[in-house]
């Protein structure tokens, strides 16, 4: 299974790294994709991550899930990118899971994709998705959309994506392994 994670300068590091780790433990081929000019992407707290490729280099034809970490101004950069919106729309058209955490659900909201759907997002960002139903849950799944509140639930977000892709049994086993300490 191939998971594409989009990274823009100003992404929230833990909202990318924690789900990435979980998905790799679940057996995903994870592709970190830069939407910036280069392959080095800097998080909101100055941590730099090397992406595998640039968004212009991928078609998305082989993806099984698309993940958007939050953080600002990273989420705004995702929302401003034509290539990001094109990739999101391709995922939606193919019925592929689209997962967004913290501020990133507003990218989907700006596209009208969350209208009438149950969602979770960082408090205050619901104003960008007035037609969505903010449930108050930490992580919410509605059809192909997986949304989450923010950094504090990055683990649960990653586990939910894994569950949707490979099943609850595998996700539960990963959760059990990482909580042993």
Residues annotated as catalytic (active site), given as ranges: 102
- Cα 45 from chain centroid (whole Å): 18
Those residues with Cβ within 8 angstroms of residue 98's Cβ, 6 or more apart along the chain or in another chain:
65, 66, 68, 88, 91, 92, 108, 113, 144, 145, 146
| Encoded tokens for 16 | 């990318």
Q: Which of 97, 100, 94, 95 is nearest to 119 (CA)?
A: 100
Q: How far apart are CA 99 and CA 125, in angstroms?
A: 16
């Amino acid at each position: 299974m191939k998971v594409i994670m989009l990274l823009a300068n100003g992404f929230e590091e833990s909202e990318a790294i924690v789900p990435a780790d979980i998905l790799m433990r679940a057996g995903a081929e994870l592709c970190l994709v830069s939407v910036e000019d280069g392959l080095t992407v800097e998080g909101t707290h100055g941590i730099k991550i090397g992406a595998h490729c640039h968004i212009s280099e991928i078609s998305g034809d082989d993806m099984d899930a698309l993940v958007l970490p939050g953080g600002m101004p990273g989420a705004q950069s995702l929302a401003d990118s034509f290539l990001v919106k094109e990739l999101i729309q391709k995922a939606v058209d193919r019925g592929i899971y689209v997962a967004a955490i913290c501020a990133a659900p507003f990218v989907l909201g700006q596209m009208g994709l969350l209208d009438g759907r149950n969602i979770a997002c960082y408090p205050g960002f619901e104003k960008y998705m007035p037609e969505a139903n903010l449930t108050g849950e930490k992580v919410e799944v509605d059809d192909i959309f997986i949304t989450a509140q923010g950094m504090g639930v990055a683990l649960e977000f990653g586990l939910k994506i894994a569950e949707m892709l490979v099943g609850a049994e595998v996700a539960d086993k990963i959760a059990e392994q990482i909580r042993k300490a």
